[in-house]
Amino acid sequence: MSEKPQTYPGVDRFYGRRKGHTLSQRQQGLMDDLLPKLSVDVSDIVPSNLDALALFSEAQTKVWLEIGFGKGEHMAWQAAHNPDVAFIGCEPYLNGIAGLLTHIDESDIDNIRIYGDDARHILTALPEASVDRLFLLHPDPWPKTRHAKRRFIGPKNLDEIARVLVDGGEFRVGTDHPVYREWTALQMAQREDFTWTAEIPSDWAKRPDDWPETRYEIKSLKEGRPATYFRFVRSSRSIDCRAG
């Protein structure tokens, strides 16, 4: 896999880190041998034409997507607890991919496929209403106002997320950053295609049982920044039509 980010029509450049410390021999072995078996390639896919379920066995009947899975501990947990789910994880950070491969290798998980680049390519490739759940956990906050365009949550990506989610599909966002928390709440409040499910503070302040902690979450909690757990539900498309 190239260490340079790919370019993709209609997708601005990616801001982030591709590689950190040198991989251990075991990690490099997994990158060489296991990753090619699990990699998703969308370079030749016509937009909206990726048949995600075809990448899995018949046991998997619905698609979940995680954007920026870091070292993959959340996705590995979800995949192990939801064997009927076809899980696609997107992460351009090579050390993160190596971390996920270690979880997969140690737990015999067979329902994860990996896209080792910018998640926006996968969003473009997926058909309308083809994803049941989407996770964006502790995205890079880019807290300075002049960097706001780099935040993953923004009108263009939200349009794509709304397009690929099924009616009633869930969009989970976790963040420990006060700027990103407010940004997410404001961006999502402007959308008619999503409803925020929270009714009382514990709905967003308390981690749901089926939402395991991520590495960033544990780190930020230790530093005194508890997370917010946003759960948005994709509105029914018939309601979109009436609104339009």
Q: Which residues are catalytic?
A: 140
Nearer to ligand SAM, 70 or 235 (CB): 70
Beta carbon of residue 224, minimum distance to ligand SAM (angstroms, whole number) = 17
Q: What angle do CA 172, 126, 137 make, to 5 degrees?
A: 20
Yes or no: say if 42 and 115 are a contact pair by the CB < 8 Å rule.
yes
Count Cβ atoms within 10 A of the Cβ of residue 224 and give its class: 0-12 exposed, 13-18 middle, 19 or more buried: exposed
Nearer to ligand SAM, 161 or 235 (CB): 161
Binding site for ligand SAM (CB under 6 A): 14, 16, 67-70, 90-93, 96, 118-120, 137-140, 152, 214-217
Beta carbon of residue 43, minimum distance to ligand SAM (angstroms, whole number) = 16
Nearer to ligand SAM, 79 or 119 (CB): 119
Beta carbon of residue 138, minimum distance to ligand SAM (angstroms, whole number) = 3
Question: Quick one: which of 83, 37, 76, 36 has its CA closest to 59?
Answer: 83
What does the block give as tokens for 28? 């490099």
Cβ neighbors of 196 (< 8 A, separation 6 or more) are: 185, 188, 189, 230, 231, 232
Beta carbon of residue 169, minimum distance to ligand SAM (angstroms, whole number) = 19
Yes or no: say if 67 and 150 are a contact pair by the CB < 8 Å rule.
no
